[in-house]
Amino acid sequence: MKPHIITLIIAFVAGYIGGVSNQLFTSPSKSPSAKKSADNSVYANPFQIDDESDDVVIQLGHLQQKVSALENQLSALTSQTDEDSDKPSNESKGRTNQSVSPNRENLLAAGVTPDIAEDVLRRISQQDFKRLELQNLIQRGGENARQYRDELRELNKNRISLRTELGDDTYDQYLYTSGQNNRVKVSSVMADSPAELAGFQTDDVIVFYDNQKILNWPDIRSATVEGEIGSYTSVEIIRDGTRMSLMVPRGTLGVQLDPTQLDPAE
């Protein structure tokens, strides 16, 4: 959906600029120096703005403001699109629940020490402030607006990751204690797929793929594109409370997944 919105905004900007340019550069000049002859109309130089062309300057100023505003919206949508690139593909029809903003209580409940919790939360808060500051500067426009947009894009790319900060196990516990999804389960197995041949069943909870902890469906997506096609690896699952391993060839697994919650201790 968002790529279509971006395309529409770009088209709107191009159309708007084209329309105003056509109006400014092809309409007859209102300058008294432009006189009509009996057999031909005389137009002023379209690239010259005389003393009585203040309306043209105003229109150009308004156009620049509109373009800057649209560029800002486009940058925000692009950033949002970058942020939303981890959306379900053909490996998953599920949708995770809304993430919870990290707070001290949830971090402490997950076993994070007070010092580490406060440090992480402070750096996240600093990053949030910098993001708001850059958005404000972009809204103001000016000659540095493009630089601010680049800085905002870079800031979003380097967003602080709690998983990286805490490690897989602690982050897993944090997700669970804060009421967020921390596992994926099989909702269906595709016919003649490697998953069907390996023995996957509906409601199997995937815990590890090739010794990589699986907390969400993007983890599966990343894991299945690694390694050499044709080689085999193990997938650890929980079925009816029992842990077991299944061997699968690397590549597309052939399952649809739903997010779920599971106590990491199980």
CATH of the domain at 202: 2.30.42.10
The last residue of one of the domains, among 133, 152, 177, is: 177
Indicate whether 160 and 221 sit together in one domain.
no
Separation of alpha carbons 14 and 82, rounded Å: 23
Residue 170, Cα to own-chain centre: how many angstroms?
Answer: 25
**Which residues are registered as beta bridge partners of 185?**
205, 258
* Residue 37 forms part of a structural domain: no
Helix, strand, coil % in the chain, rounded to nearest 5: 50, 15, 40
* Residue 266 forms part of a structural domain: no
Indicate whether 200 and 173 sit together in one domain.
no
pLDDT over 70 at 233, yes or no: yes
Separation of alpha carbons 170 and 213, rounded Å: 12
Indicate whether 1 and 79 sit together in one domain.
yes
Dihedral over alpha carbons 165, 168, 169, 170 (to 10 degrees): 20
Please name the amino acid found at residue 178: S
For the segment 123-132, what is each residue's pLDDT rounded down to a tens digit?
999 999 999 9
**Which residues are registered as beta bridge partners of 257?**
186
For the segment 31-55, what is each residue's pLDDT rounded down to a tens digit?
444 444 444 444 444 444 444 444 5
Indicate whether 212 and 243 sit together in one domain.
yes
Give the C-alpha distances (Å, rounded to integers) separating 151 from 3, 22, 45, 145.
22, 34, 41, 10
Confidence of residue 171 (pLDDT cuts 50, 70, 90): very high
Indicate whether 172 and 204 sit together in one domain.
no
Indicate whether 173 and 187 sit together in one domain.
no
Give the C-alpha distances (Å, rounded to integers) separating 54 from 59, 156, 178, 231.
9, 41, 60, 72
Indicate whether 170 and 189 sit together in one domain.
no
Burial of 208 per CB tally in 10 Å (0-12, 13-18, 19+): middle
Indicate whether 188 and 208 sit together in one domain.
yes
Please name the amino acid found at residue 83: E
Tell me which of 39 and 142 has the higher pLDDT.
142
Mean pLDDT for 207-218 is: 95
* Residue 36 forms part of a structural domain: no
* Residue 42 forms part of a structural domain: no
Separation of alpha carbons 213 and 220, rounded Å: 9
Q: By the 8 A CB rule, do 158 and 220 touch?
A: no
* Residue 241 forms part of a structural domain: yes
The last residue of one of the domains, among 177, 195, 225, is: 177
What's the confidence (pLDDT) of residue 230? 85
Indicate whether 173 and 191 sit together in one domain.
no
* Residue 243 forms part of a structural domain: yes
Burial of 38 per CB tally in 10 Å (0-12, 13-18, 19+): exposed
Q: Which residue segment(s) compose the domain that 200 sits in? A: 183-260
What's the confidence (pLDDT) of residue 87? 39
* Residue 234 forms part of a structural domain: yes
Domain count, the chain: 3
Indicate whether 79 and 110 sit together in one domain.
no
Number of helices (H), then strands (E), in the chain: 9, 6
Phi, psi of 55 (to 5 degrees): -65, -35
Indicate whether 74 and 112 sit together in one domain.
no
Separation of alpha carbons 56 and 53, rounded Å: 5
**Which residues are registered as beta bridge partners of 256?**
188
Indicate whether 6 and 78 sit together in one domain.
yes
For the segment 74-121, what is each residue's pLDDT rounded down to a tens digit?
544 544 433 333 334 434 444 445 567 899 999 999 999 999 999 999
| pTM reported for the whole predicted model | 0.61
Confidence of residue 18 (pLDDT cuts 50, 70, 90): low
DSSP 12-54: HHHHHHHHHHHHHHHSPP--TT----SS------TT---TT-H
What's the confidence (pLDDT) of residue 69? 56
* Residue 131 forms part of a structural domain: yes
Q: By the 8 A CB rule, do 71 and 149 touch?
A: yes
The last residue of one of the domains, among 177, 195, 218, is: 177
